[in-house]
């Protein structure tokens, strides 16, 4: 299921607030934000030098007055060393309506966490991303930050991370025949929370605040919320809500986009 909105300025502010407030309420209540929910793929294991991961996929085809094909895939792979974590994540969404591509976006993300059991742990990451419907031909970024563990128990964890990244973007507007290339340094701050609601249900949320230092209050705000239901040890169903609010996108690109995904995951 995919939903894309084109709100006016007032609605954008309301949506922005509706996304921000639950995040900060959740963080405060728990004492303790591209879209890549890294915390959902963290592994809490008693053994080391192990590999774990999963594959997710969804497919729907409908035919009424028009044919609609929706296909999405996701994959994650984690290596748990004695003191460090290494993660590789990927996702792709494709939507075709009556022969026309309506949505085609995806990303691949590589991250390493050093000394993960420390309260303060350095992280380094690389990411490639595209969203052709939005006009984002390519986004490549590399950076690092410090992850601070605020709280961690068997059923709940909360972290905050802050650092800097270098970002290269290529935007294209085929209708207006416009092209823009950006190379810039940005700060990146995230808040992530993961918890187990019941033995078979868990939730993971992460929100990113990314902005140029000289335009700190004109950010790109991204949020990823996921609710997962354990069907068996290897099979899970996930409901995902992803949103991005860009305060100053190139051309006349949409400021706010979001989508809702239903994914069946096979874990190993």
Residue range 4-27, pLDDT digits in tens: 333 444 334 433 434 333 333 333
- pLDDT for position 217: 94
Provide CATH code, domain 9-267. Answer: 2.40.160.40
| Average pLDDT in the chain | 81
Banded pLDDT at 39 (limits 50, 70, 90)? low
Number of alpha carbons in the 13 Å side-chain half-sphere of residue 157:
22
Contacts of 197 (CB under 8 A, 6+ apart): 203
Number of alpha carbons in the 13 Å side-chain half-sphere of residue 179:
4
- pLDDT tens per residue, range 102-130: 678 899 999 999 999 999 999 999 999 99
Contact criterion met (CB below 8 Å) for 37 and 238: no
Q: What does pTM read for this prediction?
A: 0.76
Task: Decide if pLDDT at 43 tops 90.
Answer: no
DSSP sequence for 106-152: EEEEEEEESSTTSSEEEEEEEEEEEETTTTEEEEEEEEEEEEEEEEE
Banded pLDDT at 67 (limits 50, 70, 90)? confident
- pLDDT for position 238: 86
């Amino acid at each position: 299921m995919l939903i894309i909105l084109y709100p006016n300025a007032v609605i954008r502010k309301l949506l922005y607030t509706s996304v921000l407030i639950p995040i900060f309420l959740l963080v405060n209540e728990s004492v303790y934000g591209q879209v890549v929910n890294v915390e959902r793929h963290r592994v809490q294991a008693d053994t080391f030098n192990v590999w774990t991961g999963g594959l997710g996929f969804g497919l729907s085809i409908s035919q009424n007055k028009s044919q609609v094909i929706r296909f999405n895939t996701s994959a994650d792979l984690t290596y748990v060393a004695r003191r460090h974590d290494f993660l590789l994540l990927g996702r792709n969404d494709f939507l075709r309506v009556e022969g026309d591509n309506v949505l085609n976006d995806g990303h691949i993300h590589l991250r390493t966490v050093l000394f993960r059991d420390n309260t303060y742990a350095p992280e380094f990451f690389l990411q490639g991303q595209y969203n052709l419907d939005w006009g984002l031909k390519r986004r490549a970024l590399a950076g690092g930050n410090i992850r601070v563990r605020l709280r961690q128990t068997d059923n709940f964890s909360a972290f905050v991370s802050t650092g800097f990244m270098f970002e290269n973007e290529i935007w294209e507007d085929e209708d207006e025949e416009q092209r823009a290339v950006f190379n810039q340094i940005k700060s990146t701050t995230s808040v992530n929370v993961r918890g187990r609601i019941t033995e078979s249900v868990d939730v993971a949320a992460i929100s990113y605040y990314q902005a140029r230092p000289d335009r700190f209050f004109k950010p790109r705000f991204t949020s990823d919320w996921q609710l997962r239901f354990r069907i068996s040890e290897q099979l899970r169903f996930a409901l995902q809500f992803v949103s991005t609010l860009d305060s100053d996108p190139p051309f006349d690109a949409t400021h706010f986009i979001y989508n809702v995904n239903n994914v069946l995951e096979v874990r190993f």
